[in-house]
Structure 1
Amino acid sequence: MTSRTCISERLRLPVISAVAVSVLALSGCSGGGDPQAGPTATAVGSPAQSASGAATATPSATPTPKPTPAYKPADAKGRAQNVPVPILPKTAERETKAGLVAFAKYWYTTLNFAYETGNFGPLDKVTAPTCALCQKVRPGILEWNSKGRWISGGLVKANGAFTEFVKSSTGEYQVSTQLEQSAGALHKADASIEKSVPGSQVLADIMIVRFVDGRWKAVNVDRLGA
């Protein structure tokens, strides 16, 4: 099976399960001026005199922060722009039931980030190298985020995550996820569509996870009922 075929198949399922799943400085100056030229200019931030002669403080200007570029999802005209880097919730940093559920949902945001950008950095940080099935989707995602090509849609939303939070003898937990995936398409550099696939509203995965060195790692992700 070619990498192109592999990613095409992933668009109709959550990716892993389809195979087994981001100043201004103001300066002022005061002049010494000729006494006959009028009152001396007051520097920004320096005391100024009121009508009664008392000194009053002049507030300094506050630097204006640059606006964050707006996120624009991929569409038929081009790839996604200014995709926000997923942020791990604080809850997902703890080895608790709530932490595991939060992590499972977060994992899919890193998967979506890879789809939209071709950047596997966030996903790799939370996925163990032993996840062979996870690695199978990498070539296809990289292919369709290179040479002017892009992926639109096909993003996965984790509507729910459920776990008994029972640790196995090998130190692993299981969590099942209820998913929804939008319709997607693979676009060539000339904007033509290689393949389009309708969305799926009811999908379910099972994730095997370990808490290693103070963080969760997805060991494997597989499709329930496949």
Structure 2
Amino acid sequence: MTLQKPFTSRIFWSRPQRYTAGALVIAGSLLLAGCAGSSPADPGTTSPAASESATPSAAATPTSTPSAVYKPADASGPAQNVPVPVLPDVAKTETKEGLEAFAKYWYATLGYAYETGEMGPLEAVSDSSCSSCLRVRKEVTDWHSSGRWLEGGRVSVEAVDSNFVQSQPSTYQAIAQVKQEAIIYHLSDGAVKGRLDALPTTPDILVAKFVGNEWKAQTVEHMVK
């Protein structure tokens, strides 16, 4: 089978985001600290946040208990029985801890979208003006239609921190160290349309606003190209 030219860039996180000096300090400290031992999320065995991070704080994001055995996507078909991420109570508070827990949850819903094609959980916690979220929607929905599917793409969050300083009313920035598995794009007959290399650990900035007793992601971008 002849493969077409591999994909070379992600639709999501397509440009660096402007950030405050405080965000730079946080990002630098996260990069220096590192988080050895992190592994890709495995929704079948633990919570998204616990599998996204090797640190104890990640346990704040549980998932629903699967009623059937989780099976990741492979060459034979899409993922099956992927547990839906569950928003922890702390992520419903306008606090530093709440924002950091929300950021982990947001990435859990991102990984869920890539695995299942279901955008509901991600869109529920993303503002309608979030352009990066709209780019995710296009890629995910396009590649989970007409029998097509994505293999891989699971997201790991190694660390999250925030100085919790308002940039605008009830709007804050969090810095996350994020990586994503390689993605393989399958056509309905299982043929490989393209591949996208794994994203190495990369600092992201997530801007979120607390509105009506809940967080909404305003934008999520890489801090570097």
TM-score (norm 1): 0.71
Q: Is the 8 A contact 1:88 1:106 kept in 2?
A: yes
Map residues 86-105 of structure 1 onto 2, 5 A cutoff: 86-105=85-104
Greater shift, 168-177 or 123-132, is seen at 168-177
User: What displacement does 1:20 show?
Assistant: 5.2
User: What displacement does 1:133 show?
Assistant: 2.5
- Describe the superposition over 1:71-125 as per-residue Cα deviations: whole angstroms up to 9, x where unpaired: 1110111100011111011221111111111110110111111111111110111
Greater shift, 216-225 or 166-175, is seen at 166-175
Rounded to whole Å, the distance in 1 between the matches of 2:215 and 2:8 is: 29
TM-score (norm 2): 0.71
Unaligned runs of 5+ in 1: 22-66
Q: Is the 8 A contact 1:8 1:195 kept in 2?
A: no
19 and 80 in structure 1: CA distance in 2 versus 1, 3 angstrom threshold: farther
Q: What one-letter code is carried by the residue in structure 2 that aligns with 1:16?
A: F
Map residues 6-25 of structure 1 onto 2, 5 A cutoff: 9-10=9-10, 16-18=12-14
User: Secondary structure at 1:202's aligned position in 2?
Assistant: strand
Q: What one-letter code is carried by the residue in structure 2 that aligns with 1:18?
A: S
Rounded to whole Å, the distance in 2 between the matches of 1:82 and 1:132 is: 29
Question: Which residue in 2 is equivalent to 1:120?
Answer: 119
User: Secondary structure at 2:84's aligned position in 1?
Assistant: coil
Question: Which residue in 2 is equivalent to 1:55?
Answer: none
Rounded to whole Å, the distance in 2 between the matches of 1:104 and 1:96 is: 12
User: What displacement does 1:168 show?
Assistant: 2.4
Runs of 4+ in 1 over 3 A off after TM superposition: 18-21
Rounded to whole Å, the distance in 2 between the matches of 1:96 and 1:215 is: 11
User: Secondary structure at 1:140's aligned position in 2?
Assistant: helix
Q: What one-letter code is carried by the residue in structure 2 that aligns with 1:17?
A: W
| Percent identity between the two aligned chains | 42
User: What displacement does 1:17 show?
Assistant: 1.5
- Describe the superposition over 1:135-176 as per-residue Cα deviations: whole angstroms up to 9, x where unpaired: 123122111101111001022111111110011233310001
Q: Is the 8 A contact 1:93 1:216 kept in 2?
A: yes
Please provide the CA RMSD for this pair.
Answer: 2.1
Q: What one-letter code is carried by the residue in structure 2 that aligns with 1:9?
A: S
Q: What one-letter code is carried by the residue in structure 2 that aligns with 1:175?
A: A
119 and 156 in structure 1: CA distance in 2 versus 1, 3 angstrom threshold: same
* Residue 202 (str. 1) matches residue 198 (str. 2): no
146 and 19 in structure 1: CA distance in 2 versus 1, 3 angstrom threshold: farther
Question: Which residue in 2 is equivalent to 1:80?
Answer: 79
Q: Is the 8 A contact 2:16 2:224 kept in 1?
A: no
* Residue 219 (str. 1) matches residue 208 (str. 2): no
User: What displacement does 1:199 show?
Assistant: 1.5
Number of residue pairs matched by the alignment:
172
Q: What one-letter code is carried by the residue in structure 1 that aligns with 2:9?
A: E
